[in-house]
Structure 1
Amino acid sequence: MSLLKKFATVGGATLGSRVFGFVREMLMASAVGTGPVADAFNAAFRFPNTFRRLFAEGAFNSAFVPLFAKEIDAGGMEGARRFSEEVFGVLFTVLLAITIVMELSMPLLVRTVIAPGFSDDPVKFDLTVRLATVMFPYLACMSLAAMMGGMLNSLHRYFAAAIAPVFLNFILIGVLALAWWKDYDALDVGLGLSWGVMAAGVVQLAIVWGAVRHAGMKIGFRRPRLTANVKRLLVLALPAAITGGITQVNLLINTAIASGAEGAVSSLVYADRIYQLPLGVIGIAVATVLLPELARALRGGAATEAANLQNRSVEFVLFLTLPAAAALLVMSEPIVRLLYERGNFHADSTVTVGAILGLYGLGLPAFVLIKAFIPGFFAREDTRTPMIFAGISVLVNVTLAITLFPKLSALGIATAEIVAGWVNAGLLFFTLVKRGHWGSDKPLLKRIPRLVLSAGLMAVALHYAIAFLGPQLASSAATAIKAATVAALVLAAMVIYFGLAFATGGADRSMLTRALKRGAKPKAEPVSE
């Protein structure tokens, strides 16, 4: 199977999850807007969700996958099963202890880590504690599911782990639909959503557990022991978890800072949901597929193939990310107005969330490139270097967020995230080049400026089209008219961008087919190292 097909498998499943995520956020925006319940729920949910992503996108999709793949090569499926049971026993025990401690410490955590700005509002503070207490066990379910997902990825079975997150959205949409039908007040909606998150964690764990068993890997529980394999995993997993989840670390810190302004937490979350669509579909798909492919190539001594895989992946993500970034920058407000502006989500909230989303567009290429660069380190079992760069990125983010928040509120936090993302991406890239792990690639160097030009011209065309179609995109326009206008703009932008990309040589058929095939030969896309 080609890399393109593998990217499409993971990306398509992630796209489905993100689309239903939009529906969820639209219903939630209508039900609770950017008010105190929305702030409390989003702050409470971000805490376990951050730790979940540290495991799912960090430790186990970065450290576990190469080690599990080695066990398959060395001891076959039986050896891999024993290794998985050793890891499962330790992971389950650690997660159980963390959950108990966190549940007992939740008031202190909310006051000092999750949302210190809520301390001056006893009602919002107590609600955040209550919701976070209900939702925190979601972490244990999703971390175990992340381990199962890493096993499936190593076995080249990507779909189940990619599709499982959609059930979180299914369940929460069901809760919101029930709340609308029963006419629940905002407080009851928040409580219902928190229990829905907990239920979704159990469902997602059951899905990937069943997929692993179907793949012939039946895992039993072993008494937790720090075997040599487990110690090696822990050495790799801690920095990998920090590195892979750096965006989430920044978001958690930013949530704590944003809790000092009314509505800022919810505004950032609503904007983040939209920007996560291209990041999730492109970035996570590429990172998920590229790591085991790079690990396989390097284990086989195929350094040229590994370089080709990296270059073709970066080429592919830029081809899709640059137009998405340009579109978010230019038409963020019409998108937010269409998706969210109804019920308790008002026009002033649209302006705020739209401005944040536009800023996120500037950072989108950086965050996607980070996910494409990091496998180049993890496949070589180097998790320390990306961790150091991640630490630098956090320092940049926190410094800028604290500096800009008093003047720009949520916009200052979004700016800090973007700058930190580009710093991290730059450090990763230049280190790969310096170590000789990134060969120069003439097709890539020729295509990047042409893709940037194509995206820029598309953005200019969108800008004038939006100005011309102002009445059809205004708050007073009917939802159907706004939806049709936005859809027409998106379709026109796609025609313009892809037409220009292929006309200028920024893209061609080989980039989408031969260059992305597993084991592509350098002669198809020459690589000079």
Structure 2
Amino acid sequence: MNLVKAGGTIGGLTLVSRILGFAREMVFARVMGASAAAEVFIWAFQLPNLLRRLLGEGAFSQGFVPLFARRIGKDGDLAEAKKFAEEVQAVFLPALILITIVFVIAMPAVVVAVASERWTEDPEKFRFTVFLTQVTFPYLIFISLVSLFSGILNSMSRFFAAAFAPALLNVALLAALLLVPQGGQQTAVAMAWAVLVGGVLQLALCVIATRRAGLALRFLPPRMTPGVKELLLLILPATIGAGGYYISQLFYAYFATRLPEGSFVYLSQADRLNQLPLALIGSAIGTAILPAISRHIGLGEDQQASNVQGRAIELSMLLTIPATIALMVSAGPIMTVLFEGGRFTAEDAATSALVLSVLAAGLPAYVLIKVLAPGFYARKNMKTPVIITLVTLALGVIANFIWIDDIGIVILPLSTAVAAWLNALALYVLLVRDGYFRLEGWLGARLVKQLAAALAMGATIWGVELLLADWFAGSIGQRLLGTVALVGAGSIVYFVIAWFSGAMDKEDLLILLRRKKVEA
């Protein structure tokens, strides 16, 4: 597998989705502002997303991909793999439908359990939160099935549909904002229904792509076949353990509802920007390397599996380290350009920038987790990454309980970043202990050079920001030009230094520019 090409394909298509996502967020900020209705929509969309990550991603997809990939014959025969996917779908779909029905019926109790008194003691806000979450919750069914079909496509090295599917959700939400621009509850309701439309479109795309790949899955009655049992034995302990992670996320939702109105919006915007490099780099590389590592391990080629991870770290940090420095240094101008305007004030943008600058400090750790965890997943070790996540996030929840009243909104991104670094460090230490992976000298030297180039870039961005301070307080056009200058100057400095200092593999850059092809 060409790691750079596969990662570039996934990252490039994800970029399309993220650009649409930013367009959506920019319109959302101007139409909705940091209002109560905006907060309720974000909360209502977050709940099915949390369960989707538990049921449709995480332990499930990481367990499914290796098992599916190993059932593909050496000659590309898909019969056994198809049978396995159909058996999993037969159990997965009824479970999703049952969970959705239970949550929709019990939604008032769910809101009471998760939201603080600031929300539940306001009858109008409580009613609207329950209604909107009942509308968005069936999205769980569609997007979880998208994860199943994405796993099939990724195992077959067909990355296009799975990587592009999220763009359809952003199209649906953007359409709702443009068609119902009044703001307030009217727009929030339109966006809630758009979530369902987006889920249907994503699933349709992935199903069509799977059929074109030669796998038209039949609907079978649910049955505990040996293949399903094998998958459950892998993912159930990890899923139960991962439940602690999502409980912690519900705690974060609870903490956000304790903060002043608008906090959910600020946290969401900062997370959106932080997720851009994470999705383009970490998730793309992590998705690309899991099948490759699984195949090497299946053939007893542990050194080759380790080499894939080393190359993945090198490539991911080449882009992640400068992204981290850039977000931390230029958070203010970025938030001003993207979101300030309409109902979203300069004070709102400043608060969002503060959250982003703190949250971005953990970005390299988030990406490293995506790259290191497949070393466990490919060996059918689902428990270790989950246990580490549980422990580190529990520490974050405790920190939030202790300091949220004193520190305020900053404690949420700070605890998240610290937990991510502890998580990444623990994953690396255990991989080294078990002899699966070690940071070799060439990789360590390259990472140091990348950091040095990124620091020089950060100083350049800071200097340009001071020179153009008046522009960032001016018109939209001036702010946009100022941001282009920041990005341009910083990028030139980073890549020039990285190129001449040896901080990057020049062959990788040529591959990304589609001039050459080098197999990983």
TM range (shorter): over 0.9
Which residue does 1:404 correspond to in 2? 403
Which digits, 9 at most, give the CA deviation of each residue in 1:190-219, with x for residues without a partner? 000000001111111111011111110011
Inter-partner Cα distance in structure 2 for 1:251 and 1:499: 40
Cα separation, 1, equivalents of 2:301 and 2:324 = 34
Instruction: Report the Cα offset of residue 5 of structure 1.
Output: 0.6
Q: 1:213 aligns with which of 211, 214, 219?
A: 211
Structure 2 Cα separation of the partners of residues 381 and 164 of structure 1: 28
CA RMSD, aligned part only? 2.0
Q: Contact 1:4–1:512 at 8 Å: present in 2 too?
A: no
Alignment of 1:127-142 (within 5 A): 127-142=128-143
Which of 216, 223, 232 matches 1:234?
232
Distance (whole Å) between structure 1 residues aligned to residue 330 and residue 319 of structure 2: 17
- Structure 2 residue 352 is the aligned partner of structure 1 residue 353: yes
The match for 2:479 among 479, 482, 507 is: 482
* 1:395-416 alpha-carbon deviations (Å, 9 max, x no partner): 1110112222112222111111
1:280, CA displacement in angstroms?
0.7
Q: Is the aligned partner of 1:499 residue 2:499?
A: no
2:257 to 237, 241, 259: 259
Cα drift, residue 240 of structure 1: 4.7
Q: Distance in 1 between matches of 2:237 and 2:32?
A: 38
Whether the 8 Å CA contact 1:17–1:169 is kept in 2: the answer is yes
- 1:526 corresponds to: none
Structure 1 partner of 2:307: 308
Offset from partner CA, 1:452-500 (integer Å, 9 cap, x none): 11111111121121112110011xx111111111011101100001111
Bigger CA drift: 21-30 or 71-80? 71-80
- Superposed CA deviations along residues 90-126 of structure 1, whole A, max 9, x for unmatched, are 0011001101100001011111125664112222221
Structure 2 counterparts to residues 100-499 of structure 1, below 5 A: 100-113=101-114, 117-180=118-181, 184-241=182-239, 250-261=248-259, 262-474=261-473, 477-499=474-496
1:440 Cα deviation after fit: 4.0
- Asked if the contact 2:245–2:390 (Cα under 8 Å) also holds between the matched residues in 1, the reply is no
Gaps of 5+ in 1: 521-529
Q: CA deviation at 1:245?
A: 9.1
Q: Is the 8 A contact 1:117 1:257 kept in 2?
A: no
Measure how far apart 1:246 and its partner are: 8.3
**Worse overlay, 25-34 or 252-261:** 252-261
- Compare 393-402 and 355-364 and name the one that shifted more: 393-402
8 Å contact kept, 1:58–1:237: no
Higher mean displacement: 436-445 or 218-227: 436-445
Normalised by the length of structure 1, the TM-score is: 0.94
Do the aligned partners of residues 163 and 214 (structure 1) sit closer, same or farther apart at CA in structure 2, a change above 3 Å counting? same
Contact kept? 1:145, 1:208, Cα under 8 Å: yes
Q: Distance in 2 between matches of 1:151 and 1:239?
A: 22
Between the aligned partners of 1:83 and 1:518, the Cα distance in structure 2 is 33
- 1:506 is displaced (CA, Å) by 1.2
Structure 2: tracts of 5 or more residues without a match: none
| Paired amino acid for 1:111 | V
Distance of 1:502 and 1:281 partners within structure 2: 21
For residue 253 of structure 1, report the CA deviation from its aligned partner: 2.6
The alpha-carbon deviation at position 32 of structure 1 amounts to: 1.1
8 Å contact 2:14–2:280 — kept in the other structure? yes
**Is the 1:267–1:410 contact (alpha carbons within 8 Å) kept by the matching residues of 2?**
no
How many residues end up aligned between the 2 structures?
A: 515
The one-letter code sitting in structure 1 at the alignment partner of 2:120 is S
Asked whether the equivalents of residues 59 and 382 of structure 2 are also in contact (C-alpha less than 8 Å), the reply is no
- Contact kept, 8 Å, 1:164 with 1:204, in 2: the verdict is yes
In structure 2, C-alpha distance between the alignment counterparts of 1:218 and 1:481, rounded to whole Å: 52
Q: Is the 8 A contact 2:464 2:485 kept in 1?
A: no
Deviations 1:375-427 (A, max 9, x none): 00000110011111011122111011222211222211111111111111111
Deviates more, 1:421-430 or 1:399-408: 399-408
Which is worse superposed, 125-134 or 115-124?
Answer: 115-124
Give the stretch that moved more between structures: 355-364 or 230-239: 230-239
Whole-angstrom distance in 1 between the partners of 2:242 and 2:16: 23
Task: Specify the code of the residue in structure 1 equivalent to 2:403.
Answer: L
Greater alpha carbon shift after TM alignment, 417-426 vs 247-256:
247-256
Alignment match, 2:7 = 7
Amino acid at match of 2:227: N
Q: Which is worse superposed, 330-339 or 402-411?
A: 402-411
